[in-house]
A and B are shown apart, each in its own frame.
Chain A
């Protein structure tokens, strides 16, 4: 059986949600990008409501946002890889991620998707993933985390 050829990309934007799936997404990007020495940009978006201007000093002061970026950088360091961590303030996460991918001329956008269900049990895909799938100019990978155990 022929050996699988890893997909090649030269620049990928990785969307960090701050959840457990972030580590998987970063590892995946590092593994697949290693062969082509791809440039990796990890972006975490802090959504601001309209009561604050977009240049309000919020994200930089947010310990949570810093933790998300530090965690991604930590994973990259442990895997001897490189990663540029970026913090962005925006009104809408999906739009901000897609804009960043377009602005960076990325050929791949990777998003993590936590496994969540709505009240009633329907799977909830959220807004950012559908937006990215519909609007991103580049290829999009969505990494869904495993289902949790059924509640007893």
Chain B
């Protein structure tokens, strides 16, 4: 598989190294000449010392025959431009972008980036999982970023406590399907009554997160 990695920072460097180790053909684009030379000396002559944001240079890197373009620079705007150009100008089958600001995730999805990877979101998820906050925990991103698997721990005062699952007015495209109660998993039926301390596992479109939060845990502002 031929992969173009744009951005020769830590992520791009190690990504390229792993891909080469796995037997893939890799071209790494890094616009900083000194950094490009350094990577060439360490990995070999796979570095194109040009700016991947420019179509001309992306073309020179072989975007016309690339299977994947991975934009992993530290700049969201650059990553978006790179992926869009790869997708629409060179018909690259798969584009992957690093998104640093989680607020940009929906924009990336909307503009057709095939896959987004948000280190910020991942670290946030890990922190949330370790801290007993009464927020929605992000357990996983599914469906290429369209859906999120979340967990909500109900507490005293949560609007969903004492309510049956069937009577929750969940937003379209959202569903709760499991409860962890007393460290035991149970499936959710329409008549299942939610209790204080329940961890409710649900899945839904990312844009429904705020509404799901309101229904299960209450308005964000009213927490704590």
Listed in ascending order, the chain A residues whose CB lies under 8 Å from chain B are 49-54, 90-92, 94-95
Contacts and interface: CB of A to CB of B under 8 A. Distances in A.
A50 B2 CA distance: 10
Q: Is the interface of B mostly helix, strand, loop or mixed?
A: mixed
A91 B2 contact: no
B63 to A, nearest CB: 8
B221 to A, nearest CB: 53
B2 A53 contact: yes
25 contacts: A49-B60, A49-B62, A50-B27, A50-B48, A50-B60, A50-B61, A50-B62, A51-B59, A51-B60, A51-B62, A51-B64, A51-B65, A52-B62, A52-B65, A53-B2, A53-B25, A53-B65, A54-B25, A90-B45, A91-B45, A91-B46, A92-B45, A94-B45, A95-B44, A95-B45
Contacts of B60: 49-51
Interface of A (DSSP majority class): loop
Given A50-B61, A51-B62, 14 more contacts: A49-B60, A49-B62, A50-B48, A50-B60, A51-B59, A51-B60, A51-B64, A51-B65, A53-B65, A54-B25, A90-B45, A91-B46, A92-B45, A95-B45
Interface of B: 2, 25, 27, 44-46, 48, 59-62, 64-65
A90 B2 CA distance: 15
Q: Which of B60, B61, B62 has the most CB of A within 10 A?
A: B62
Nearest to A51: B62
A54 B25 CA distance: 9
A54 B26 CA distance: 12
Nearest to B4: A50
Contacts of A54: 25
B183 to A, nearest CB: 54
A91 B44 CA distance: 10
A139 B127 CA distance: 55
Nearest to A134: B41
A49 B48 CA distance: 10
A50 B61 CA distance: 5
Contacts of B59: 51
Contacts of B64: 51
B28 to A, nearest CB: 11
From A50, A53, A94, residue with most partner B Cβ within 10 Å? A50
Contacts of B46: 91
A145 to B, nearest CB: 26
Most buried by A among B27, B45, B59: B45
Contacts of A90: 45
A111 to B, nearest CB: 17
A90 B64 CA distance: 19
Contacts of A92: 45
A95 B43 CA distance: 11
Contacts of B61: 50
Of residues A51, A53, A90, which shows the largest number of chain B Cβ atoms within 10 Å of its Cβ? A51
A14 to B, nearest CB: 21
A122 B46 CA distance: 29
